Amino acid sequence: MDNFKSKTLAMTAQKKILGKMANKTSVQMFIDDTTSEILDELYHISKHHTGNRTEAQKVIKNLIKIAVKIGLLFRNNCFSTEELVLATDFKKKLRQGAMTSTSFYEVDFTFDQAVMEDILTSCRDMLLKLVNTHLTPKSHGRIKHVFNHYSNPELLTALFDPNGPLRPNLAKICKGLDKLMEDGTI
């Protein structure tokens, strides 16, 4: 009966508030300009791929909610030592994905769909394991939604087509990823 902890209550309230306010204006408090530009391009890619503005917005909103909640968990030292090791592995895999994407962009006709799908699936699984005890099943569903959306073979093929309409979007994403890697963010 005496398990009340104000820190736990505060974390729950913060996650709930952040979950409700995941719009572009409020997110700028938590996400830097480069990341925001990448998210804008991911939105355009999703909108082009699905042909559905609402679905594209939902994917980006889910991505933002997850990123902000995980950032909140880090800032409040909620992860165990083992989870921090997993977080480091996730960051390495994310960096590998960024470098691979940039390589596929810079060298035409080198895109390998299986490689990108594998990287994205690995990232998804690591992230789900990392937040397993910290976030709700609804948040786990958001993670799956985002990673399954962007690992879609048709979307990936269209994105990495050197002559495709998404080439300018990919160029901006790769430029942003390069900056995030240089800064040590990923």
Per-residue pLDDT tens, the chain, 186 aa: give them: 455 555 555 556 565 655 555 555 545 556 778 888 999 999 999 999 999 999 999 999 999 889 888 988 988 899 999 999 999 999 999 999 999 999 999 998 899 999 999 999 999 999 999 999 999 999 999 999 999 999 999 999 999 999 999 999 999 999 999 999 999 888
**Ordered DSSP codes for 118-186:** HHHHHHHHHHHHHHTTTS-HHHHHHHHHHHHHHT-HHHHHHHT-TTSTTHHHHHHHHHHHHHHHHHT--
The maximal CA–CA distance of the chain, rounded, in angstroms, is 64
pLDDT attached to residue 175: 96
Residue type, 21: M
Instruction: List the Cα angle 93/132/15 in 5-degree steps.
Output: 100
Distance CA 59, CA 114 (A): 22
Counting every residue written for the chain, the total comes to 186
Write phi, then psi, for 116 (nearest 5 degrees). Answer: -65, -40
Q: What pLDDT is attached to residue 1?
A: 44
pTM, full prediction: 0.82
pLDDT given for residue 36 in this prediction? 87
Fold of 32-183: de novo design (two linked rop proteins) (1.20.1440)
